[in-house]
Structure 1
């Protein structure tokens, strides 16, 4: 197989540099000079690829979001019920907090899911809330309910991450119960969904070579 063009390799180094810096410090403190130095390129080379550091972050976010969403979908769509899917989605991010330190830094050094995940958690929750509303004839506002859940989950996980604490399963269950209660879910279905255990996800460690990821997804050995 032919080697990737130099331009592709350089962009991959820039993307890896952005990830590495995100794991170490807040994005607001990172400069274009930091990204270029970490990638081993000149500032001029950086601007051959991106107009700003925020554009570089947006590019990395888009690439990593594909990996994250694929991982989430392979997990949640093992479940038929909306309640179980939402439970697994929330506990997925609890597991990242508890067991995936690089990814925890990636997500919870941000000020919200939307800074690290395309569309934020709302983009994943909203269609599930809508489906649940239609199947159970509940009158939820899907976007409002999804935003309510996201705005409740993220600050709590961020606080635990900042304190370098893990979130016990019992408390994760309580978060799920509160989230599902906001959708009007109650009784046994609420308890069963709240107690669902999410397996630790197999996400690769960061920084991740987007080039290698794309090769893997394309079926290269």
Structure 2
């Protein structure tokens, strides 16, 4: 089997280096020299691939966002009711904090979901909130505002648990979902049943993730 081009392997080392550093410290404290050193390449080589460290982060974020969204799609498709999908979406990120320490560091060292997930949680929530509006499940008048409201309440809570080094109890996760669904205008049995759903721990591999190996696996190569 032919070896992948050197350029592919070098970029994979740079992407892995970005992940390694993100798991250890804040992005604002990381330099291009840190990324290059961790990847075992020169600074000049780094600039052959990226114009800046923020461009490198954007590249890694896009790759890992695709992985997260694929994992979420396989989870959310198990539910037909939109409120149940919203519940599992939120509890998925609770489970990452509780059971996936490297992913928890990746997400909750950031200042917002959008720093680590393309489009932030809003990009995932807004179409679900809109679906709820169109099916008359809830009384929200603006899907984007509602999605922003939910994300901006949800992320700081999870970040604080992470900073404190504590897990989120199931009853707390359920209460977060209740508040999110109330923001949509849901109430009664639908709200109670959806918020009580238990989200299974997802099978995402630990970070750092070789993007090259990930893309090769997704393409169906051995």
The residue number in structure 1 matching 2:135 is 135
Q: Which moved more, 1:201-210 or 1:134-143?
A: 134-143
Provide the rounded CA distance (Å) in 2 between the counterparts of 1:140 and 1:33: 48
Contact 1:17/1:39 (CA < 8 Å) preserved in 2? Answer: yes
Provide the rounded CA distance (Å) in 2 between the counterparts of 1:173 and 1:140: 24
Map residues 68-217 of structure 1 onto 2, 5 A cutoff.
Answer: 68-136=68-136, 138-217=139-218
Contact 2:14/2:35 (CA < 8 Å) preserved in 1? Answer: yes
Gap regions ≥5 residues in structure 1: none
Contact 1:71/1:201 (CA < 8 Å) preserved in 2? Answer: yes
* Structure-1-length-normalised TM-score: 0.99
Provide the rounded CA distance (Å) in 1 between the counterparts of 2:57 and 2:50: 10
Provide the rounded CA distance (Å) in 1 between the counterparts of 2:200 and 2:79: 13
Q: Deviations over 1:10-68 (max 9, x none)?
A: 00000000000000000000000000000000000000000100000000000000000
Map residues 40-59 of structure 1 onto 2, 5 A cutoff.
Answer: 40-59=40-59
Equivalences, count: 221
The residue number in structure 1 matching 2:61 is 61
Provide the rounded CA distance (Å) in 1 between the counterparts of 2:56 and 2:70: 22
Provide the rounded CA distance (Å) in 1 between the counterparts of 2:141 and 2:82: 14
Contact 1:129/1:140 (CA < 8 Å) preserved in 2? Answer: no
Provide the rounded CA distance (Å) in 1 between the counterparts of 2:79 and 2:100: 23
Provide the rounded CA distance (Å) in 2 between the counterparts of 1:45 and 1:135: 53
Contact 1:130/1:140 (CA < 8 Å) preserved in 2? Answer: no
* Structure-2-length-normalised TM-score: 0.98
Contact 1:18/1:56 (CA < 8 Å) preserved in 2? Answer: yes
CA apart distance, 1:139: 4.3
Could you list the structure 1 runs, at least 4 aligned residues long, displaced by more than 6 angstroms after superposition: none
CA RMSD of aligned residues (A): 0.7
**Aligned with 1:166: secondary structure?**
coil
1:220 and 2:221 correspond: yes
1:8 and 2:39 correspond: no
Contact 2:140/2:146 (CA < 8 Å) preserved in 1? Answer: no
Contact 2:83/2:191 (CA < 8 Å) preserved in 1? Answer: yes
Gap regions ≥5 residues in structure 2: none
